[in-house]
Structure formats: C-alpha cells, structure tokens
Homo-oligomer: A and B are copies of this chain.
C-alpha cells in the first residue's frame, strides 16, 4: 500500500496522485486548460503515460479533483475576512471571490468548465462547492436582517450578488478580448473592490429607500410618494 517514501527512486511512486495533481495545475498555469494532458503530467511526475489511469479514471476525473480543490480553496478564502456588520461581511466575501479568481486563474478556469470534468459523476465536486453557495445565502439573509438589503424574496438578491462577483471574475479571467476593459480607465486590480462596493452601496440605498417608503406609507397612506 506504499506509505509515502517521499524520496521516490523506487518502482512505486507512492505519492503519484498528489504529484499528478500538482503537475496538472502547473500545466494549466503555464498554458491554459488546453495545455493539460495526462501524458505531460505523467512525464512531469516521472512515470509512464499509462500510470495516471490507476488514480484517475479519465482526464475529466483529474480535472474534477482539481476543481474540488479549487472550491475548497475558494470557500476558505471567502471565510478568511470577517466583519461584524452583515453588509460589510457580504461585501468582503464578494471581494474575496473576485480576488480568488484573479490570484488563482488556473483553478478558476477549471472550476467552471463542467464539460471538462464529466461533472455530476463526481460527488467530491458537489461536496466541495455546496458550502460556498450556502455561505452566500447565509450572508445575504443576514444582510437582509440588518436592513442593508431590501426586504422580501431573498433569492433574487442571492442571484444578483452571485452574478456580479462571478461575472466580474469571468470577465477578468477570460477577458473580453481586451475590447472593453482596456477602454475603461479603472485599474484591473481595483475592479473587484469597486464593483462589489458599488453594488452594496446601491443595495443599502434601496433598502433605506424601501424603509422610508414603508414608514411614509404607514404615516400618510400614500404609497411611493417619496420626493
């Protein structure tokens, strides 16, 4: 059963699975997803081209394993910064999402390519990505409870927040051909903070707006009569 000899001069590698994952990630970092092949990864790990198939049923399964790693990293990154204020907390999580995409381009590209990993077959992926989504919902509900997001159906705000962070991340990672971004004056590495803050700002504005309207409605019986 090979218990990690670490110095691998032997016939049995011992840590081949980990070595393959590491090599695969490096290959993606160097030349994109298309640069990742099991043969190259095997070569880097110092084994023959057939060896990987004892640890991964297919290239897709290796990609799924990398994707799961990525989701676990993302989850940790989003839980790293905490804030007392629920709105601020949501804000930090969103910014962490975008920062993760910028700093781990290779992971991000793999994570959202379900067609590359014969997804759905690999429950590890589901298990790794579920907490990320759940924490988002939790944060949106908390922010709503604190009156920093308009009341009512929370799902639309979950989807809105997720769309914004994921959209900006995708645009940064798979760039729009340099066509729009280059025309914007904003520096790339500040877009995450700026966009998430802007969204949070307008959400708070709308939340207060709604409260005012409601209070006013209560007082004067005239709905939507602001200003």
Interface residues of A (CB under 8 A from B): 32-34, 112-116, 119-120, 125-126, 129-130, 133, 136-137, 150, 155-160, 162-171, 174-180, 183-186, 191, 194-195, 198-199, 201-203, 205-206, 208-212, 215, 226-227
Are B183 and A133 in contact, with the CB atoms below 8 A?
A: yes
Are B160 and A166 in contact, with the CB atoms below 8 A?
A: no
Copies in the complex: 2
Which of A133, A160, A202, A211 is most buried by chain B, counting CB atoms within 10 A of its CB?
A202
Q: Which residue of B lies closest to A210 (CB)?
A: B205
**A130→B178 CA distance, assembly (Å):** 10
28 A-B pairs in the complex with CB atoms less than 8 angstroms apart: A32-B115, A33-B115, A112-B174, A113-B174, A114-B175, A125-B177, A129-B176, A129-B179, A133-B176, A133-B183, A150-B202, A160-B195, A160-B199, A163-B163, A163-B171, A163-B195, A166-B167, A167-B169, A170-B170, A201-B206, A202-B203, A202-B205, A205-B205, A205-B210, A206-B206, A208-B227, A209-B209, A212-B226
Are A176 and B120 in contact, with the CB atoms below 8 A?
A: no
State the Cβ distance, A137 to closest chain B Cβ, in Å: 8
Q: Which residue of B lies closest to A170 (CB)?
A: B170
CB-defined contacts of A186 to chain B, threshold 8 Å = 155-156, 159
CB-defined contacts of A194 to chain B, threshold 8 Å = 156, 159
CB-defined contacts of A133 to chain B, threshold 8 Å = 176, 179-180, 183
